[in-house]
Structure 1
Amino acid sequence: MRTTGYRIGAVAAAVAIVVTGSAASAAPGHPPAPVARVTGSAQISLPYWPDSDVRVFTFDAVGTPYSRPMPGAPEGLATDASGTVRISHRVAEAGITVGMAARVDCLVTGPGVATLTAVVTQADEPVADWVGKRLGFSVYDADRHGTDRMGFSWSVVNGEQNESGEWVEAGVGTCMGPGPFAPVTRGDYTVRHQDLLPPPVGH
């Protein structure tokens, strides 16, 4: 689904998203518990929209399970995460570069794959109104067996019909993202998988 907002949305996508944060420290004398992590920076191409734009996504996300208490889940969730995503989009036709930064709030991994979400904290014009918006991402780490890929929750996905029957962009829930549809053309992503952990003892 391509909407009239695609161009602006694609520009926003170019903003590099960087996730910063660290897992809870281990008890003295014990090694730190393994955590899920997504790192790397790469340029991607859009198979359905060939152009000369340069879209770079940068991830540095880490799982911080049971670290974000919320109503109904006072101990937090197994998918809690921290970090920042940075997007940089060079719009060739306009001769401008648009950037964004977002704070990671959720991360789920499988072997070689990850889905994460992040809430925009900073955005250049023309997407300054994206501040506060949750975005979804997916990452596929091919290692040495092919091409890395990633996906993002705007442009051609995440649509719904409103009460008037028009197609509009839907909201993004935590850890919700599309499949990694965009191949990496330069750069590299690394996914470190960790199964979701049970609640801490005593919760």
Structure 2
Amino acid sequence: MDKLNLRRELSSARASLSPEQLRANAIKVRETLLDQPWVQMAGLVACYWSTGTEPETHGLVFALWKHGATVVLPVLREDYDLDWAVYDGPDSLAPGRFGIMEPVDTRRGVDAIRTAALVIVPALAVDRKTGVRLGRGGGSYDRALTRVGPNVPTVALLHDGELIDDLPAEPHDRHVRFAVTPQGLISLM
């Protein structure tokens, strides 16, 4: 299946999840991540503020921040690359482009992700054999992931059924090292 049709199919499956299932998934994913020692020790975490039916990150971002991590969230630039700004609690966010919540803190630049000890990214799917992630098609996270060091844990958050075999990939598509679903943590590389 080509990427466009796969994105449609995955988005449709997400749309069929009930609010109760989305909440239950968010709790399981958050608890799985927070149980990992390498997550607990990460001083600077790059994450994202979820929207719609994405695996919800609001509680995760808040928990990481309350546990003392510095959390940076993306700010979408005009060229669709990602700038980064520090999350400083729920009151530090405002709607940005496309209505996605962004930190109001000073922008740290596209290279701020280079210093992250943990990078958590959205994905519609991840290939279980190669770790290639399928995003929404804008390439923002593929560009950002090129700036992440090779030993930094990169994690995609997924719903059940989104870890698949033989995901179509192109040379610019980036890999992640881990996926977290409601079923648990999967090491991919």
For the aligned pair, the TM-score class normalised by the smaller chain equals: under 0.3
Greater fraction strand: 1
Taking structure 1 as the reference length, what is the TM-score of the superposition? 0.24
Relative contact order, higher structure (CA 8 A, sep 6+): 1
Greater fraction helix: 2
Taking structure 2 as the reference length, what is the TM-score of the superposition? 0.25
